[in-house]
Structure 1
Amino acid sequence: MYRARAYSASSSTSPLASDTIARREPTGRDVQIEILYCGVCHSDLHYVRDEWHDAMPAVYPCVPGHEIIGRVTRTGPDVGALRAGDLVGVGCLVDSDHDCPNCREGLEQFCPNMVLTYGSPDSHGTAPVTYGGYSDSVVVDERFVVRIPSNLDPAAAAPLLCAGITTYSPMRHWRVGPGKKVGVVGLGGLGHMGVKFAHALGAHTVVFTTSESKRDDAIRLGADEVVLSKDANRMKAHAGSFDFILDCVSANHDVNSYINLLTRDGNLTLVGAPEKPLPVAAFALIFGRRSLSGSPIGGIAETQEMFDFCGQHRITSDVEVIPIQKINEAYDRLLRSDVKYRFCIDMASLRSE
């Protein structure tokens, strides 16, 4: 066991502050990683403030962060392909049971015994719960570590480990590609990645937004069209024409207005998570054999596939890089949607304290 530098919260109302935490020494198939960058996800804020108490009660002190980019510094005796110096990533998962039907299919994100990067019981006994990437190092089973293409900016690649795979996975599942018409609802941290992937996959990409001011940015990111969702005539003009719609909105909204835009056998997938249930009109689904589904992150193999795709197409997230000392300010800005489109922490700032 060793001590690592980190930023942690001691309660749901306290700011994140400098701390030291316990990390296990690498054993077996473990790799120790020096963390270079860690993306900031809205989930981090939810967990720190215990806003998911009923589903995932926070345990304090908590160290968030599940968009980790770093370099391997040490490896356990049974590690196979990874070596010291490799540029790697760790996302939302750090372990699973490896034996359930989901794991055997490479779908670790659905494992009933998955271990989240932060906030899950620590089976190694190093700490009460797992600690995330707001730290200078982490130790992870090599099976949950992915390689990062050398041509990607590591800071801009960090959010791919959550926002990236969350949008890439459902597009692959629903076979987004050339000849498909795809909608992306909401142009934020998730939505901007959805636009980039839909465009790179060869689909005709349409962004739905409530803000005219986002039109130019949507086009820059790869959208072929931009539709103001408040314009009833423009919405009606697209009725029954979409093969797939990715809904990235976490606020309450009318999902039926988008279901009506689907063609026969079209699908709308929710990746945003509104706090309250969304009313769904049954007839909008029944007539047209349309479907409404949800999707989390992808499995480890699919996450590696995504990074290889991103390396091929030079896709990264649009990030604002911050020092760790500005993380509390960044959380306040997240609440105001004051970022284009993701924050990423430069962990050199933590080592300089």
Structure 2
Amino acid sequence: MLEINTYAATSATGDLVPTRITRRDVGPHDVLIDIKFSGICHSDIHTVRGEWGDQQYPLVPGHEIAGIVTEVGSDVSRYTVGDRVGVGCMVNSCRECVNCLAGEEQYCLAGNIGTYGAKDVDGTITQGGYATHVVVNEDFIVRIPEGLELDVAAPLLCAGVTTYSPLNHWNAGPGKKVAVIGLGGLGHMAVKIAHAMGAEVTVLSRSLKKQEDGLKLGADHYFATENPETFEALAGSFNLIINTVSASIDISAFLQLLSLDGALVNVGAPAEPLPVNAFALITGRRSFAGSMIGGIRETQEMLDFCAEHKIGAEIEVISAEDINKAYERVLASDVHYRFVIDTSTLV
């Protein structure tokens, strides 16, 4: 067993603190990763604070992991020592259900095993990437292309694939008009990726405060949703809307912005329900859908796409001692646009 340094939550209400944990021995199909950077996702905050259900503590969050392979198991065939790799939101699944066999492990019918806070196959609770090392089965690791620096690649393991997957599935591209609700950690990646796919991109944000940023990131248009005239001017405009906001919004109002057969896809995960007026759907044959991260195959596809188009996350690298301050800044929407922990500071 390898004993390592981490930052962990010890309760739903307290700060994260330095904590020592052990990782399992490297098994035949396992890879030991020296973590270099770990992104901070809003879902980390939801989870450690018990907003998505009770947790067992101490809990080490973090599912945007980028690092270097330092050891491989005897039967590992895909990776060797020195490889640049990443780990996202899951570290295992049943591998047998129809969804797993289709390469959509995130929708495993038995429930995928999350990178942290989940019951692993050996009965232990998984611990995440706010740590110096992690041991993961090779099937749930992806290769980070040489064209991507590890720090800007780390958030792609969640924010990148969470937005790439619905844009890919709903065929964003030339001739398509795509709107992105919210310009935060998820939203800024949705704008970059949709723009690279060739779509006409519009940001729908509460105010115009981030308009300059949005246009620099690749948006063609930017509108403030606090202005009621926005909903009148844009009615029936979009083929696809990606909602990245993890809070309650008026879904029915945004559905009216879709063209015939358009889809509004929710990738944010608010704790409260999102009511929908049926007439907002049936009057335009519109769809209200959801999308959750991506499978391992699609995550690799996303990384390769981002490397080809020179897309990385907009990040602020922090030391481990600043994690709690970073959480408060995330909640205050004071981040441009993803915090990334330099795990060399986990001492």
Residue type of the partner of 2:104? L
- Which residue does the alignment assign to 1:216? 212
Deviation for aligned residue 1:102? 0.6
- Which residue does the alignment assign to 1:294? 290
Q: Distance in 1 between matches of 2:245 and 2:13?
A: 26
Residue type of the partner of 2:10? S
Q: Distance in 2 between matches of 1:228 and 1:12?
A: 35
- Which residue does the alignment assign to 2:303? 307
- Which residue does the alignment assign to 1:234? 230
The 8 Å contact of residues 267 and 292 in structure 2, kept in 1 or not, is answered as yes
Deviation for aligned residue 1:251? 1.9
Residue type of the partner of 1:93? M
- Which residue does the alignment assign to 2:42? 42
- Which residue does the alignment assign to 1:159? 155
- The one-character-per-residue Cα deviations of 1:269-295 (angstroms, maximum 9, x if unpaired) are 011123322221211211221100011
Residue type of the partner of 1:14? G
Residue type of the partner of 2:29? R
- Which of 93, 97, 118 lines up with 1:120 in the alignment? 118
- The one-character-per-residue Cα deviations of 1:252-271 (angstroms, maximum 9, x if unpaired) are 21112211111111100011
Q: Distance in 2 between matches of 1:343 and 1:164?
A: 14
The 8 Å contact of residues 184 and 206 in structure 1, kept in 2 or not, is answered as yes
Q: Which runs of 5+ in 1 are unaligned?
A: none
Deviation for aligned residue 1:155? 0.7
Moved more, 252-261 or 337-346: 252-261
The 8 Å contact of residues 148 and 307 in structure 2, kept in 1 or not, is answered as yes
Q: Distance in 2 between matches of 1:317 and 1:92?
A: 17
**1:259 and 2:260 correspond:** no
TM (norm. structure 2) is 0.97
The 8 Å contact of residues 246 and 269 in structure 1, kept in 2 or not, is answered as yes
Residue type of the partner of 1:132? G
Q: Distance in 2 between matches of 1:222 and 1:113?
A: 36
In the TM superposition, 1:311-330 aligns within 5 A as 311-330=307-326
In the TM superposition, 1:5-16 aligns within 5 A as 5-16=5-16
Q: Distance in 2 between matches of 1:276 and 1:44?
A: 17
Q: Distance in 2 between matches of 1:141 and 1:158?
A: 18
Q: Distance in 1 between matches of 2:16 and 2:272?
A: 28
Deviation for aligned residue 1:331? 1.1
Q: Which runs of 5+ in 2 are unaligned?
A: none
The 8 Å contact of residues 51 and 271 in structure 2, kept in 1 or not, is answered as no
- The one-character-per-residue Cα deviations of 1:166-190 (angstroms, maximum 9, x if unpaired) are 1110011101110000000111111
The 8 Å contact of residues 90 and 140 in structure 2, kept in 1 or not, is answered as yes
- The one-character-per-residue Cα deviations of 1:200-252 (angstroms, maximum 9, x if unpaired) are 00000011111112111110010001111133333322211211000111222
Percent identical: 53
Deviation for aligned residue 1:14? 2.3
Deviation for aligned residue 1:85? 0.2
In the TM superposition, 1:260-279 aligns within 5 A as 260-279=256-275
TM (norm. structure 1) is 0.96
- Which residue does the alignment assign to 1:102? 99
- Which of 340, 345, 349 lines up with 2:341 in the alignment? 345
Residue type of the partner of 1:172? N
User: Matched residue pairs, number?
Assistant: 346
Q: Distance in 2 between matches of 1:10 and 1:228?
A: 39
In the TM superposition, 1:188-227 aligns within 5 A as 188-227=184-223
Query: Which stretches of structure 1, 4 residues or more, deviate above 3 A after TM superposition?
Result: none
SS at match of 2:39: strand
Q: Distance in 1 between matches of 2:5 and 2:272?
A: 37
- Which residue does the alignment assign to 2:69? 72
The 8 Å contact of residues 37 and 344 in structure 1, kept in 2 or not, is answered as yes
SS at match of 1:190: helix
In the TM superposition, 1:180-195 aligns within 5 A as 180-195=176-191
Residue type of the partner of 1:330? A
